[in-house]
Every structure is written in C-alpha cells, then in structure tokens.
Structure 1
Amino acid sequence: MNLQVLKLHTVLELWYVVIPICIFIVFAAKYLENILMPLLGFLLGTFFAAPFFIEWMGKVEFFKELQEKLLQSSTAQLIFALIVGVLCGAVLYGIYKLFVFLAGFSVAGALGYYAVRLIVQGKDLGTVGQFDLNFLVPIGCGILLGTICGLIAARNSSKVLALISMIVASGLLAFSIVGWVYVWINRSPVDQVLKIFEDRLLVFSLTILWLVVLGLAISFNFRRRVKQTLSSNKSGRINQ
C-alpha cells in the first residue's frame, strides 16, 4: 500500500482537531455512545476516505480538473477532507449497526479464511463438480465465521464501536506524538512525516506507543464499566 496516498501529514496539520477528539475518545469512550459513530466517521473520512477520493479523481476524466485544483492548494485539500469527514460521520451515524456488523464480518471472516487455508494447505480435499474444495472450504468457513461474529458484534454494538473508535483514536494519537517528535528533532517539514516509516526504530516506537495508549483506553473504559455494573448489581441486591 502506498502510504503517500493517505496524506498523513494532515494529521499533524490538523492537530488542533485530531488531538482533542482522540484524547476525548481514548479516555471517555464509555460516555460517548451517542456521538461515537459520528466522531469515528469524521476521523475515518478526514484522514482515510478523503485522500483516496482525491487519488481516485485522477482516474476519472470528469473529476481530473477538480483533483488538479485540490492538489494545487493545501487549504483546499484540508477543507475537502473536513467536508468528507463530516459527511462520513453523518452517514455512519445513520447506518452504524450495519457498519459494526460489516466490521465484525470482515475481521472474523478474514481470520477464518486464512486460518482454514493454513490448515488445509498441502492437503487434497477433492472437488465438487468443477469446484475445488481447497478453495471453497476456506471461503465457506470465513463467511460462516464472519456472519456469526458480525451478528454478535451488532448485538453488542456499543462495546464493539467503542473498541474500534479507541483503536483508530489511539493510532492517530500515537502517530501525532511520534510525528511531531520526528519533525521537531529533524527540523523537517510536516509533509515529510511519512519518512518515519522508513526507520524501523520509529516504526517500533509508534507501534509500542499505539499499543500502550490502546491498552490504557481499554483499561480505563471497560474496567470502569465492569465496576459500575458490579456496584449496580450489589445495590440492586441490597434494595431487594
């Protein structure tokens, strides 16, 4: 994957938007169930969907002129990214149950497919008609597992949504910290921040920081929720 397409330097340029939202999600996800999906949609739309849209415009003749205008102005790119972020937030807010199901289906389906593929690798399962079972079985298991996990995820949508939001927010927060440290130490322009992925030590630091922030977020949000559930159960028993 070409990371240049993502224009991740906008994460640093929009630090005044990214950092407050990410900190808010990381440490208060359990309070944000009603607005978590719009915030997640905004982050995904601004920093992931918008760059792909701009890249895609260059492949369609009708949008090439618009792409050229966007590429000529960083301000125009930021405005376009913010608009796409707001639109994605609004759309995902309307279909967030479907989004959670698709997220669970995609992750579990992919894991199931590759796990079964590794198991049957080197074995001859035969054929059914013209279809090779070595190809069909992993796909079938992936679809079945994906559907089951997708339905479970949709049933527990608030928890799954909180987890997905914390993964995205902690990743952007870790990237912001490592990115700004890299820019400050090397005195390099913000648009050169992707060079951190060329340094294994920086990639390792980014990954560790991401996991640490994510771990803190999960601990802070889900442990508090468990404690609140236990305390409410105890109070309910006392009242009885």
Structure 2
Amino acid sequence: MDDTKETIPEKRNVKPDGSKYTIKELENMTHDELMALTYEAPRDTIFTIGILLYDGYFSLDAMGPHSVFSSMYPAKTFFIAKEKGLIQSNNGLKTQVDTTIAEVKHLDILVVPGGTADTYRATKDQKLLNWIRQIDQNSKYTTSVCTGAWILGAAGLLKGKKATTNWYDAENKLKGYGATFVNKRYTNDGKYWTSAGVSAGIDMSLALVDHTMGRNYADFVMLNLEYDPAPPFEGGSPEKTDPVVTYMTKKMYDFYIEPVIKELNP
C-alpha cells in the first residue's frame, strides 16, 4: 500500500453538477441530511477492537490507537490483559483492565502495543502468544505499534511479511522473526498492519479507519482529535536526529533490554 500523505479528493462532497456546497446551504440542512452527504458505505464492518495491555507497555502505543478507534461506531474498543486489575505502563500510568485474555475468543481488530524489556519478556510468554495466535485465526486485522511487532513476530504471524517497528535494531529484530523491515511510518501486508515507534500508532490507526470506514469518516476522527502534527523542531527519527543523541538513545535501550535477553536466553 501507499501510505504517503494524500490530498483531499476534489470530487468529495460536491453537488451532482460539480459545484461545491456553500456554508449557507449546509446551515439549512438537517443532521440526517449532513450525515447522508458525508456517508460512505464502509469497506468492512468492525464490531470489536481489543488493545492488549501488559506491565511496561508504552502508554501512547495503546492510548493513541484507543483515541482513534473509540470513535469507530458501532465498534466497541476495550483493553485486555492476562489478569484483571491495574496495568502499569513504563511511565507509571495505571489503567484498570476488566477483561482478561481468557474471556476474549474473537476480535475484529487486535492491537498489540510495544515497550522495552517487558515487551521482550512478552515474546517468551507462551500463554500470551497462544492467545494472540488464537485471536489471529479469525481477526479481520491484527496490528502492532512500535516494538509490539516483536510480539507478533514471536507468535509467528509476521513470517514472510513486510512490517515496520521501532527504529531500535529494527531490521535485525524483524529479520529474526522472518519478516522484512520496511522503514515507513506504518505499513500493511494483508491483514497485518504495523507501525513505527509510539506516536506512529496514531497514523496507522487513522489509516485503518480510512481503509475500513472511508475517508469522510477518517476525516471526522482526525478533526475530532485535531490531529495536525507540527513539531516545534525537526527530529523524531534517526535520520532527523543528531547522531550523538541517536547513539545515546540506542545505548539506553541496550541498557534495559540486553540484561533481559541474557536472562531469558541463558
């Protein structure tokens, strides 16, 4: 797929004669008329969207997609964990989760967020991986954000697929799971949608809304979130960041992840 930024199609929401609606004409329309004007037949019908949480996940990896997908009517978007209770993110955010993996047998969309050391631990959790495989058998879309792709990879779902993930050792990590790394903000290979690090999960989620519900609906969600990124300075990827800062960040990730790798692979 081409995930480059698209311009607004010129022929959307115009009269049969090709002219554009005026504000006055829109003001005189009822709510139902406005809805009919913007309605597009969905490509797919989504009813359940489950976002997996585990201790140590990156909060925006989950909360970004949650903010996007929770606007998808009539879908129900909810969090899932191995056990009920408070799940703590890497930065201390505590979220009450009332649904366990044992209670969920089917999802239309599964979202797996990433993290650091605890994400690598999750790649060795066979109970969790077996549940992901079970859900994937009937899901319409199986997705990951950031290093959540490691978990999908460990479940064997990305073998032979193109995928993306957090920039940290990305090519080697995905290669180890039989996947081909694509250096894009987000990408998909069939029903498998993956995003780069953290904030890229919002981009991926919006693209999936566009894919399933149409551009008008995706426009609505994007405007509702006022998602119009304009960073105060250039950065956010290794290509745009000072090499010293990039190296320091990589060493920080090494510090957290390498001991866990050694512990779980004696």
Normalised by the length of structure 1, the TM-score is 0.25
Tell me which protein shows more strand as a share of its residues.
2
The structure with the larger Rg is: 1
Bigger relative contact order (CA 8 A; separation at least 6): 1
